[in-house]
Amino acid sequence: MTSWLRRYDLNRANAAVLIFLWLFFIVFMLYPLGYVFSNAFFTSEGFSLVFMKLMFSSPNYTAILANSVNLGLAVTLFTTLLSLPLAFLLVRYNFPGRGLLNGLILIPMVLPPFVGAIGMRQLLARFGSVNLLLLETGVINQPIDWLGGGSFWSVVILEVLHLYPIMYLNLAAALANVDPSLEEAAKNMGASGFKLFRTVTFPLMLPGYFAGAVIVFIWAFTDLGTPLVFEYREVIAVQIFNMVTDLHQNPMGYTFVVAVIALTLFFFYLSKRLMGGGRYEMLGRGHVTSAVRPASASLTVIAYAVVLGISALALNPHLGVFLTSVTSRWFFSVLPSEYTLRFYQDVFSHDLTLLSIKNSLLLSTLSTIVDVVLGVTIAYFLARKRTPGRDVLDALAMLPLALPGLVLAFGYVAAFSATPLDARINPVPLLVIAYAVRRLPYMVRAAYAGFQQTSVALEEAAMNLGASPIKALYQITLPLVFANLIAGAVLCFSFAMLEVSDSLILALKEPYYPITKAIYSLLGRIADGPYIASAMGMLGLLLLAGSLFIAGRFFGRRMGELFRA
């Protein structure tokens, strides 16, 4: 045992923590997944590939798979194109109001796209604001069917507008971490402009870029809420959702899940391969000169124009939701004809809505704490220790990105029924764990990137001077990666607040409804449902904007540096 530990440079405490991590993953991921897998491959007659064959032989099913992959690729491409200029302008140049613009970019994250979809539907409907505006100004004389036919592009647009901040955060962090002297070396060799970017800057940004690109891809690839609200059913997530809620446990659902996991693992593999396994650790970051330069007046104007322009576009769904939430009459007019705050009163007089806000706050806080503790621990082992089964641990920690929440949630409901964790009795523990597991990869990635970019020599210096490994971690490395951890924690918290699929499936009883489930159940109510739902959405939005703002305050006026190593 001791020789085994020595081989991996582990002590007993390390080993105990590792064992705890493994147990956690086995119980809360492998077991429910195994449950899902066994249903995909086992019929009453034993092992069978019949469902797999069915999936790949049916043109209908292969088309659905292709739709989902295309959705993921399109969203990744467009978020990249949108975020790159933003990252360059805001990381490399200093100008008045930079922090403010940085905050503005993050705002679209605070609205679940499926809520945004309600607003967009309102704006883009056959006789919605956009068509009416165009008709009134005489640009068109027939209403355009924006959402009809293949609503593929409306799903893409909504997801891009929701996800580009994530891409931006990753690109900005990656760019901020590129050692300026490496770029200077390239300039010295005669590179400049796009050539410099293509040959040096971007390759150095690649690890950060792929971290963002994979998250965005998987998100779009497995998003359930947006296609559901746009009634774009030909994607894998909606198919799975339908099949899972199909209480008969149609095995095709499980088969799709298996396909999703396989595809996701493939894309992960691809991104790791493309990173080249190169070492991008930058030594001596402590005394690297800053690459931030003051922006000229014209560049400042350009920066404002770009950020404000993109934000204006991205905030359209929010505008739609906002208008829906304050309208009492809105038929055949560009803007509502009568306004009211009645629905906001309803939110606070309604037991369901009020309780759901409390529930969400509690659940998200707890799950964020779980994420921070687990995420930092896992990232530390991955970045700093040669643990046995390191790659498996890495894969397990990242796997939730590939798991549509509904799969995990359904696995939880099924696998833990008739145990003390039964979601039918009290879903709080499973909801907390589901939220935490789902967002754990963000935390692990955020912390891991920080660890990688902080030279291990700094920690060794502390140990050499008498700090125990745990002290060295707390006093040296954690403060240095603190910005990364805060960024990760804020992401975890806001995503937990907006978690859709776990909430829909796990919160089975009204007293435990989180915000999203309350909104979803309100949507189904014909009369005032969508209005109260929109008001709820607005409140959730304000809440999250508030928490981001508080996090920013906590760091003084350097909100932009929150999301950097």
Partner 1 sequence: MVSVKFASVTKVLGQSRAIDNLTLDIGAGELFFLLGPSGCGKTTALRLVAGFYTPDEGQIVFDGRDQTRVPPHKRNTGMVFQNYALWPHMDVRHNIAYGLKMRRVSEAEREKRVNRALEIVQMQAYAERMPNQLSGGQQQRVALARALVIEPDVVLLDEPLSNLDAKLRVEMRTQIKDIHRQIGRTMIYVTHDQAEALSMADRIVVMRRGRLVQVGTPHELYTRPESAFVAEFIGGSNLLPGTLEEVGELLLVKTQIGIVRAKYAVKGLARGEPVFCSVRPESLRLRPAEAPTRIAPSDGINELSGAVQSVMYLGDNEQYSLRLADGVTLRAVEYNPTARKAGVGDRVGLQFDARDVVVLRQEELGD
List residues near partner 1 by CB under 8 A.
Answer: 6-7, 9, 11, 283-287, 455, 457-458, 460-469, 471-472, 475-476, 479-480
Which lies closer to partner 1 via its Cβ, residue 68 or residue 177?
177
Minimum CB distance to partner 1, residue 554 (Å): 16
Minimum CB distance to partner 1, residue 473 (Å): 12
- d(C-alpha 503, C-alpha 537), whole Å: 15
- d(C-alpha 42, C-alpha 49), whole Å: 8
- d(C-alpha 331, C-alpha 123), whole Å: 11
Which lies closer to partner 1 via its Cβ, residue 16 or residue 50?
16
Minimum CB distance to partner 1, residue 218 (Å): 33
Minimum CB distance to partner 1, residue 245 (Å): 50
Which lies closer to partner 1 via its Cβ, residue 7 or residue 358?
7
Which lies closer to partner 1 via its Cβ, residue 473 or residue 538?
473
Minimum CB distance to partner 1, residue 455 (Å): 7
Minimum CB distance to partner 1, residue 11 (Å): 7
Minimum CB distance to partner 1, residue 4 (Å): 12
Q: Are 216 and 491 in contact (CB under 8 A)?
A: no
Q: Are 156 and 543 in contact (CB under 8 A)?
A: no
- d(C-alpha 384, C-alpha 390), whole Å: 11
Q: How is 511-541 classified by DSSP, letter by letter? A: GG--HHHHHHHHHT-SSSHHHHHHHHHHHHH
Minimum CB distance to partner 1, residue 429 (Å): 37
- d(C-alpha 400, C-alpha 72), whole Å: 17
Q: Are 444 and 383 in contact (CB under 8 A)?
A: no
Which lies closer to partner 1 via its Cβ, residue 248 or residue 287?
287
Which lies closer to partner 1 via its Cβ, residue 7 or residue 558?
7
- d(C-alpha 292, C-alpha 545), whole Å: 27
Which lies closer to partner 1 via its Cβ, residue 27 or residue 458?
458
Minimum CB distance to partner 1, residue 467 (Å): 5
Which lies closer to partner 1 via its Cβ, residue 38 or residue 475?
475
What is the rounded end-to-end Cα distance, in angstroms, of the chain? 37
Give burial (CB, 10 Å; 0-12/13-18/19+) of 305.
exposed
Minimum CB distance to partner 1, residue 291 (Å): 14
CA dihedral 328, 145, 536, 225 (to 10 degrees): 160
Which lies closer to partner 1 via its Cβ, residue 109 or residue 383?
383
CA distances for 146 relative to 157, 162, 317, 471, angstroms: 12, 19, 14, 58
Which lies closer to partner 1 via its Cβ, residue 38 or residue 464?
464
Helix (H) / strand (E) element for 293: namely: strand 293-294
Closest C-alpha among 366, 512, 505 to residue 433:
366
Tell me if residue 284 falls in helix, strand or coil. coil
Q: Are 135 and 525 in contact (CB under 8 A)?
A: no
Closest C-alpha among 51, 94, 226 to residue 152:
226
Tell me if residue 339 falls in helix, strand or coil. strand
